[in-house]
Structure 1
Amino acid sequence: MDKYQAARSTTITIANWADLVRNSAYLKALYTSIPKLDAIIVRSIHLNHFGPSLTLRIDLPEFPQNPPAPWVEAALDRFQCQLEFIAVENLELTGWIPGGQTALELGTRNSNKIHARMNSGEFHLSFTAADSILVGHMSAFKVQSDQSDSGPHQFLGRLDSKKFSEIPPPYEKTFYEHI
Structure 2
Amino acid sequence: MTPAWGDFLRNPEKLSGLYENPSSIEPLVLHSVYLDRLGPTITLRLSTTGLPDRMPTEWLAAECDRFEFHLQFLDIADLSMTRARFPASISVDVVARELHRIRVDVLGGSTHLGFSSHRSVTIGRLSAWNSRAPEEQPIHHYLSPLDRRLHSAPPDTWKKNYYGRI
Distance 2:92 2:48 in 1: 11
Is structure 2 residue 2 aligned with structure 1 residue 13?
yes
Distance 1:103 1:154 in 2: 25
- Quick check: 69-78 or 26-35, which moved more? 26-35
- Deviation track 1:19-65 (CA, whole Å, cap 9, x = no partner) reads 21111101000101226255310000000000100000001340101
Distance 1:56 1:144 in 2: 23
Computed over aligned residues only, the root mean square deviation of the Cα atoms, in angstroms, reads 2.1
TM-score (norm 1): 0.86
Which of 1 and 2 has greater Rg?
1
- Quick check: 114-123 or 81-90, which moved more? 114-123
Distance 2:77 2:158 in 1: 24
Is structure 2 residue 77 aligned with structure 1 residue 89?
yes
SS of corresponding position for 1:13: coil
- The percentage of aligned residue pairs carrying the same residue is 27
- Quick check: 32-41 or 125-134, which moved more? 32-41
Distance 2:132 2:30 in 1: 16
Q: Which runs of 4+ in 1 moved over 6 A?
A: none
Distance 1:22 1:73 in 2: 31
Question: Which ranges of structure 2 fall in alignment gaps of 5 or more residues?
Answer: none
Question: Which ranges of structure 1 fall in alignment gaps of 5 or more residues?
Answer: 1-11
Is structure 2 residue 130 aligned with structure 1 residue 142?
yes
Code of the aligned partner of 1:101 = S
Structure with more of its chain in helix, by fraction: 1
Is structure 2 residue 144 aligned with structure 1 residue 157?
yes
Aligned residues: 166
Q: Alignment partner for residue 39 of structure 1, among 27, 44, 47?
A: 27
Code of the aligned partner of 1:34 = P
SS of corresponding position for 2:97: strand
Q: How does 1:1-150 map to 2 (within 5 A)?
A: 13-14=2-3, 16-34=4-22, 36-144=24-132, 150=137
TM-score (norm 2): 0.92
